[in-house]
Amino acid sequence: MRHHVILRVIAKLGIPFIVLFALYVQFHGDFGPGGGFQAGVIFGAAFILYALIFGLDNALKVAPMNLVITFIAVGLLVFAGVGVARQVSRLRRARRQFRRRTASRHPARRARSRDHGRRGHDRDLLHLRGPGPVAVEFLIGHYNYWIFIFLMMLGFYVVVARGNLVKKIIGLNIFQASVFLLYISIGKVLGGTAPIIIDGGGPVTYSNPLPHVLILTAIVVGVATTALGLSLVIRINEAYGTIEEDEINDMDQEP
Amino acid sequence: MIAAHYAALQVVAPLIAAPLCVLLRRGIPAWLVTVAISWIALAIAIQLLIQVLATGTISYELGGWAAPWGIEYRVDSVNAFVLLIVSGISAVTAPYAHKTVVKEIPEDRHYLFYAAYLLCLTGLLGIAITGDAFNVFVFLEISSLSSYVLISLGSERKALTAAYQYLVMGTIGATFFLIGVGLIYAMTGTLNMADIATRLDAVENTRTVLAAFAFITVGLGLKLALFPLHLWLPNAYAYAPSAVTVLLAATATKVAIYTMLRFVFTLFGSDFALDVTFLAEFLMALALVGVFAASITAIFQNNVKRMLAYSSVAQVGYMLLGVSFFSVTGLTGGIVHLFNHAMMKGALFMALGAVFYRLGSVHIDRMRGLGKQMPLTMFAFVLGGLSLIGLPLTVGFISKWYLILAALERGWWPIAGLILLSSLLAVAYIWRVVEAAYFRDPATHHPRATEAPPALLVPTWILVLANFYFGIDTSVTVGIADNAAKVLLGSGG
Amino acid sequence: MTSELAMVVAVLAPLAGAVLIAASHRHPNRRETATLATAVALFILVLPLLEPVMAGERPGTTLWEIIPGISISLEAEPLGMVFALVASFLWIVTSVYSIGYMRGHHEENQTRFYVCFAIAISSAIGVAFAANMFTLFIFYEVLTLSTYPLVTHHGTDEARRGGRTYLGLLLFTSIGFQLLAIVWTWSITGTLDFTVGGIFEDKVSPTLIGILLLLYMFGIGKAALMPFHRWLPAAMVAPTPVSALLHAVAVVKAGVFTVLKVTVYVFGIDLLADVHAKDLLLYVAAFTIIAASLIAIREDNLKRRLAYSTVSQLSYVVLGGMLVNEISVIGGGMHIAMHAFGKITLFFCAGAILVAAHKTNVSDLDGIGRVMPITMFAFLIGALSVIGLPPLGGSWSKFLLALGAARSDQYVFVGVLMLSTLLNVAYLLPPVVRAFFLPPPNAPGQHISFNEAPLACLASICVTAAGSVLLFFFADPLYVLLEPIVITTR
């Protein structure tokens, strides 16, 4: 796409701002919920955009493979190291400070603790939202589940019925997405607000944030699975010259 | 001071070592780190086990957040035993890995192999140790993703398709599991296992809980290769690098079975599983059919690794059969077979790895005459095979003994007979290899193989001897398994 | 040395011998010295145990507890003493014989041969001294496995097929039936110890006892009850010393020994008296006796003929056990010893003929008595002992078995025994008749020279043949020794 002048110019102009924005999000994490994760995604998006416009070769010059691998490893080490450091350090002060920061990063866990006393909410959700004996009401009242089931079956069907390995991965994604929706819809409380603590605020109804956090993790896992699956497909394509399942099977049978 | 953190270290040590391997960039240092960490993990697991047996359940609050809000690591005799199995096998496999990795994997990927290996270890240990239902999913995916990577590193191109197939099936399984956990969460409002266990009683007759139960069982069934959900396993084991096959065959399905035990017995409770669901009958039928179908399929395999992979499916059947009796003896048999099967399959796959190292193939025709060329390796294979068949003085016998006893206790003697008959099928496939190795002359156009290097033989023989040691001195294994069975049933009833 | 220690050492001695043999694999002389020395040492270890056992003592020791309540334990009792003495004594003889045979026949892999042989003997002694069913089962299986390399010694396709049948049938019966019976017994009684009068007491119904009895009897594949007898002829592909000691003495006798042990010490003969399954087994045994004899008559291969003869003779012991009275059980116990001496002589002769004259078939034996007179005379003695004619040992056991059958008013089986004797004559005497009375196939007038087997072989043959004769005159100690096993505590 490097032949398109407009794309090139806009990308060149945009990328620094994207990176800047990522940094902003990162440092804002100190004051409000969220931060590192989103910042990382935005940061990565800048590089992906660059690679899309100027080609993979140029992108690798900017961020060599070795560097990326090292960064991944260091990142993981820092991440895990923070946890370990906290365990090792027995200073109360450090502990208190850390707890405050983690608390602000993960309001979910905290909110969950408050929510705990009222878990009746969650349970009610699965039963009818009111005594509705009529079938129609049952259908409509559970529309989120029907969507979930439909998506799940759709994804499952694609995985089973399609011979194209990439399409299978897409099916897998739909399948997983359906579960994400299930989780999130479970957490929703009618009329609930975002679970942000307002100082001195009285009791407010808020949606259960825990499923969101869980699903955030699950999405990450899903992305990792997709990435791994697709890279496997690339390798398969290199080895077999095709990504159609039946052709691969035929080739495996021959020798 | 550090003793208090063993539970966390068990998982954190390999987790931190994995990126360290990546930073080291070299195969040999990464390997040394892997070996060291595996041994440390084993030491920690032994410490934990001793602690649990002495003082009862250990609860460790991760990051200082009290359960049920924070993530809790909870170690009782059941998972302490599983931790021991996983770390023990890894402690033997890691030293073994080096030679085979050099042979089978391009040099620029060695350090990545070890990183993936450690991540896989992290995942497996994490599944076993955690007391949080969602955390199980996370660790399940850590171990699965890294094992897809490990399998795809196999030297044949079929390894790629095998890894892909496993990825699809594994992800479906994990997602099913996730659905189940989500439904449980919706019903109880908690993810802490111990907490769920107390709260599920009140809602256990709802359809949602039943659905959750079904999703979790099927999802884990995929992961533990429950017949007929085992289709991913034979290829994955057959084409993975030798060291990976050893690790996965000896630990991955075991950990999945542990998770199933945990959910069925601790979370749902055996009463629920027995009264409300048909799990016992279902498991028993599938286990028996699986044992026979997989054993018979194994007889007709010419790739010996594939043969043993089918045998693994059959052995999973034995473990589940033990579980399906829902009695202390049956569970003891099932749990002790987790350990025993790890010993025998570890030994067998290690011997095969040594064969692959020398021959570059484990096809039964290529193994002709190996009895003379690689006497120690093949003798190790024979002894491992005898253990698999379940002859007395081997660990296989101990497992069979308890399984049969459990069947007879219930008065189901035909099932006891079937268990014994099925072990004769193992004679059939093991003896195909023995006859090829000892009674056939090697094909002349292949170069003569020589005995495997000590670096491969020593770990193999350690496991072979373990097969006999734990077949004679069962006080450790059976003692813990018995304790674990009582813990599981006690908390359920 | 105390009796307890002697037993443990007796089981371990052949294993130590096996290590020595393996260590000296480059030096045939040293290797064979090790074999012989071990054999002699074993006999010296076993023999002193006889005295305390005769005196009524039952020295026993527990080596190791595998599962709570289930241990590897040894105990010397009369039946086991008989078996251990026979096996250890004949090992010495067989060692001498096999040195001559293996060298004369230029066999390969001799070290593996001697090592496996020693392990097999060790497990046979283990079977003999086992104090409970579990220990017995362990040694029983080790015996199966350690003899497999011996059966397949030649490594040919035929050996491989024979080995497959051998291992397949023995493992199938022992794992499929016997192990089930053992676990079942354990789950009912909570013990597996051999106890005079049995361990079941009144805990179970006769039907269940019947099922268990069938499982045990068919599960002890080494007793070669039809239809699980095929492994024994299949094992004849082995070198002759193996066939002689293991498949005429150690392995098959371990089978019938186990049958008697189970009958006497697990069920107890009083308990079995009312069990109908034993009648079924009686007929199976009778059928095996007759059918195997008929097959033996048709077999031309000498070793296979002897093998079928063994199948038939083994069922004598089963018959003795299943008749469940004092006389017949003692008769069965004595038959273990008597038949051992007779049959090993026959096998030794068959091996000698193979080594010296390279002949394996009965039809080729014409006139061989003139070439190998000593061998063929010993063959005659062995044959007569197996047939059961005085003054040879075999007559006593057969007499006691017939007497026992008459005691139980089971005259059918007296008839079976008599008929079997006739059949024995029909298949064992023709080789002798051919050897001595038919002319050799070569042109008459050709000079016939003596061409006996190597001296080591010949000496062994003479020893066992003499043993068959001596046992006729010294049968009484054997009877006295065996008597206590049927005197119940009740």
pLDDT at C448: 60
Tokens 């059939």 belong to residue:
B428
Of B3-17, C148-162, C169-183, C360-374, the range with the highest mean pLDDT is: C169-183
**Using CB atoms, which residue from C142, C172, C187 is nearest to B405?**
C187
Number of domains in chain A: 1
Q: Which two tokens stand for residue B114?
A: 């070890």
If phi > 0 it is left, if psi is from -120 to 50 it is alpha, else beta; for residue A254 that is alpha
pLDDT at A126: 41
| Residues of A whose CB is below 8 A from B206 | 126
Which chains form contacts with chain B, at 3 or more CB pairs under 8 Å?
A, C
pLDDT at A127: 40
- Report whether A226 contacts A212 (CB < 8 A): no
pLDDT at B125: 93
Substitution target in A232, A243, A249 with the highest count of B β-carbons within 10 Å is A232
Question: Do B8 and A87 lie within an 8 Å CB cutoff?
Answer: yes
Between the two ends of chain A, the Cα-to-Cα distance in Å is 42
pLDDT at C14: 86
Instruction: Give pLDDT tens digits for A174-231.
Output: 999 988 888 888 777 666 766 666 666 666 677 777 777 788 888 888 999 999 999 9
Q: How far is the C-alpha of A36 from the C-alpha of C452, rounded, in Å? A: 96
Q: pLDDT-derived band of residue C156, with 50, 70 and 90 as boundaries?
A: confident
The percentage of chain B sitting over the pLDDT mark of 70, rounded to a whole number, equals 98
**Using CB atoms, which residue from C134, C164, C180 is nearest to B416?**
C180
Give me the residues paired with residue B75 across strands.
B58
**Using CB atoms, which residue from C67, C141, C159 is nearest to B401?**
C67
Instruction: Give pLDDT tens digits for C408-462.
Output: 888 888 888 888 888 888 888 888 888 888 777 765 555 566 677 777 788 888 8
State how far residue B9 is from chain A, nearest Cα, in angstroms.
Answer: 9
pLDDT at B465: 92
Tallying the residues shown for chain C, one arrives at 490
State how far residue B241 is from chain C, nearest Cα, in angstroms.
Answer: 33
Q: Do chains A and C touch (3 or more CB pairs under 8 A)?
A: no
Phi, psi values for residue B60, rounded to 5° = -125, 125
pLDDT at B210: 87
Q: pLDDT-derived band of residue A94, with 50, 70 and 90 as boundaries?
A: very low
Q: What is the mean pLDDT of chain B?
A: 87
Residue A81 lies in a domain: no
Question: Do B69 and A77 lie within an 8 Å CB cutoff?
Answer: no
Other Cβ atoms closer than 10 A to C40: 14
State how far residue C67 is from chain B, nearest Cα, in angstroms.
Answer: 6
B109 interface with A at CB cutoff 8 Å: no
Q: What is the per-residue DSSP string for B316-332?
A: HHHHHHHHHT-SHHHHH
A183 interface with B at CB cutoff 8 Å: yes
Q: How far is the C-alpha of A45 from the C-alpha of A15, rounded, in Å? A: 9
- Report whether B371 contacts B385 (CB < 8 A): no
Which chains form contacts with chain C, at 3 or more CB pairs under 8 Å?
B
Q: pLDDT-derived band of residue C103, with 50, 70 and 90 as boundaries?
A: confident
- Report whether C98 contacts C31 (CB < 8 A): no
Instruction: Give pLDDT tens digits for B273-289.
Output: 777 778 888 888 999 99
B152 interface with A at CB cutoff 8 Å: yes
pLDDT at C378: 85
Angle at the Cα of C294 (from C292 to C296), degrees rounded to 5?
Answer: 70
pLDDT at C363: 80
Q: C195: burial class by Cβ within 10 Å (0-12, 13-18, 19+)?
A: middle
In sequence order, which ranges of B300-412 are alpha helices (DSSP H)? 304-324, 328-359, 370-373, 375-389, 395-409
Of C29-38, C288-297, C354-363, C386-395, the range with the highest mean pLDDT is: C288-297
Q: pLDDT-derived band of residue C109, with 50, 70 and 90 as boundaries?
A: confident
B interface with C, Cβ–Cβ below 8 Å? 386, 389-393, 398, 400-401, 404-405, 408-409, 413, 416-417, 420-421, 423-424, 427, 431, 435, 438-439, 471-474, 478
Q: pLDDT-derived band of residue B119, with 50, 70 and 90 as boundaries?
A: very high
Residue A133 lies in a domain: yes
| Residues of B whose CB is below 8 A from A119 | 188-190
Q: pLDDT-derived band of residue B344, with 50, 70 and 90 as boundaries?
A: very high
Whether residue C52 has pLDDT greater than 90: no
Amino acid identity for residue C429 in this structure: L
Q: Which residues of B265-297 are buried (b: 16+ CB within 10 A; e: fewer)?
A: bbbbbbebbbeebebbeebbebbbebbbbbbeb
C interface with B, Cβ–Cβ below 8 Å? 64, 66-67, 134, 137-138, 141-142, 145, 152, 155, 157, 159-160, 164, 167-168, 171-172, 175-176, 179-180, 183-184, 186-187
Q: Do chains B and C touch (3 or more CB pairs under 8 A)?
A: yes
- Report whether B414 contacts C184 (CB < 8 A): no
Instruction: Give pLDDT tens digits for B425-463.
Output: 888 899 888 888 888 777 777 777 788 888 889 999 999
Residue A111 lies in a domain: no
User: Which domain covers residue A236, as residue numbers?
Assistant: 119-255
Q: What is the per-residue DSSP string for A65-134?
A: HHHHHHHHHHHHHHHHHHHHHHHH---HHHHHHHHHHHHHH-HHHHHHHHHGGGTHHHHHHHS-SS---S
Please name the residue of chain C whose CA is at the shortest distance from the CA of residue B415: C180
If phi > 0 it is left, if psi is from -120 to 50 it is alpha, else beta; for residue A130 that is left
Tokens 């030293």 belong to residue:
B95
Please name the residue of chain C whose CA is at the shortest distance from the CA of residue B398: C67
Q: How far is the C-alpha of B399 from the C-alpha of B422, rounded, in Å? A: 14
Instruction: Give pLDDT tens digits for B40-89.
Output: 999 999 999 998 888 888 888 776 677 677 788 888 888 899 999 999 99
Q: How far is the C-alpha of A125 from the C-alpha of C207, rounded, in Å? A: 59
A87 interface with B at CB cutoff 8 Å: yes
State how far residue C185 is from chain B, nearest Cα, in angstroms.
Answer: 10
Q: pLDDT-derived band of residue A93, with 50, 70 and 90 as boundaries?
A: very low
Q: How far is the C-alpha of B79 from the C-alpha of B439, rounded, in Å? A: 44
Please name the residue of chain B whose CA is at the shortest distance from the CA of residue A111: B69
Cα–Cα distances in angstroms (integers) from residue C221 to residues B69, B116, C271, in the given order: 62, 51, 23
Q: How far is the C-alpha of A7 from the C-alpha of A5, rounded, in Å? A: 6
Q: pLDDT-derived band of residue C488, with 50, 70 and 90 as boundaries?
A: low
Whether residue B332 has pLDDT greater than 80: yes
Between the two ends of chain C, the Cα-to-Cα distance in Å is 34
Amino acid identity for residue A162 in this structure: R
pLDDT at A2: 62
More confident residue, B166 or B194: B166
Number of Cβ pairs < 8 A linking chain A and chain B: 135
pLDDT at A234: 92
Q: Which two tokens stand for residue B372?
A: 């003379």
**Half-sphere exposure of residue B176: CA atoms within 13 angstroms, side-chain side:** 20
State how far residue B145 is from chain A, nearest Cα, in angstroms.
Answer: 7
- Report whether C345 contacts C462 (CB < 8 A): no
Please name the residue of chain C whose CA is at the shortest distance from the CA of residue B420: C176
Substitution target in B393, B394, B403, B480 with the highest count of C β-carbons within 10 Å is B393
| Residues of B whose CB is below 8 A from C186 | 405
pLDDT at C446: 56
- Report whether C312 contacts C420 (CB < 8 A): yes
- Report whether A206 contacts A244 (CB < 8 A): no
Task: Give the A window 208-227 contacts with B, CB below 8 Å.
Answer: 210-211, 214, 217-218, 221, 224-225
Q: How far is the C-alpha of B219 from the C-alpha of B260, rounded, in Å? A: 10
Q: Which residues of A83-119 are buried (b: 16+ CB within 10 A; e: fewer)?
A: bbebbeeeeeeeeeebeeebeebbbbbbbbeebeeeb
Phi, psi values for residue B327, rounded to 5° = -130, 165
Whether residue C490 has pLDDT greater than 50: no
For range B345-362, the mean pLDDT: 90
pLDDT at A255: 57
pLDDT at A106: 46
Q: C51: burial class by Cβ within 10 Å (0-12, 13-18, 19+)?
A: exposed
What stretch of H or E contains C60? strand C60-67
pLDDT at B89: 93
Q: How far is the C-alpha of C396 from the C-alpha of A191, rounded, in Å? A: 101
Whether residue B238 has pLDDT greater than 50: yes
Q: Which two tokens stand for residue C144?
A: 């199966």
Q: How far is the C-alpha of B98 from the C-alpha of C435, rounded, in Å? A: 68
Q: How far is the C-alpha of B473 from the C-alpha of B487, rounded, in Å? A: 23
B26 interface with A at CB cutoff 8 Å: no
Cα–Cα nearest to B170, from B207, B204, B123, B212: B123
pLDDT at B177: 92
Residue A148 lies in a domain: yes
Residue A253 lies in a domain: yes
For range C69-78, the mean pLDDT: 85
Cα–Cα nearest to B484, from B342, B343, B323: B323
Tokens 């039943």 belong to residue:
B210
Question: Do A122 and B185 lie within an 8 Å CB cutoff?
Answer: yes
Residue A207 lies in a domain: yes
SS3 A203: coil
Q: How far is the C-alpha of C152 from the C-alpha of B129, rounded, in Å? A: 50
The percentage of chain C sitting over the pLDDT mark of 70, rounded to a whole number, equals 97
Q: How far is the C-alpha of B403 from the C-alpha of B396, rounded, in Å? A: 11
Question: Do B427 and C171 lie within an 8 Å CB cutoff?
Answer: yes
pLDDT at B35: 93
B70 interface with A at CB cutoff 8 Å: yes
Cβ neighbours of residue C279 under 8 Å, at least 6 residues apart? Answer: none
- Report whether B78 contacts B258 (CB < 8 A): yes
Q: pLDDT-derived band of residue A139, with 50, 70 and 90 as boundaries?
A: low
A80 interface with B at CB cutoff 8 Å: yes
State how far residue A236 is from chain B, nearest Cα, in angstroms.
Answer: 6
State how far residue C479 is from chain B, nearest Cα, in angstroms.
Answer: 34
Whether residue A232 has pLDDT greater than 80: yes
Q: How far is the C-alpha of B11 from the C-alpha of A89, rounded, in Å? A: 19
**Using CB atoms, which residue from C141, C184, C186 is nearest to B392?**
C141
The C-alpha R_g of chain C, in whole angstroms, comes to 21
pLDDT at A228: 93
Cα–Cα nearest to B348, from B315, B319, B377: B377
Tallying the residues shown for chain B, one arrives at 493
Instruction: Give pLDDT tens digits for A28-58.
Output: 776 666 667 788 888 888 988 888 888 888 8
A225: domain CATH number? 1.10.287.3510
Q: How far is the C-alpha of C306 from the C-alpha of C293, rounded, in Å? A: 10
pLDDT at A185: 81
Whether residue B194 has pLDDT greater than 50: yes
Cα–Cα nearest to C474, from C393, C385, C378, C383: C393
pLDDT at B151: 92
Tallying the residues shown for chain A, one arrives at 255
Instruction: Give pLDDT tens digits for B471-483.
Output: 888 888 888 888 8
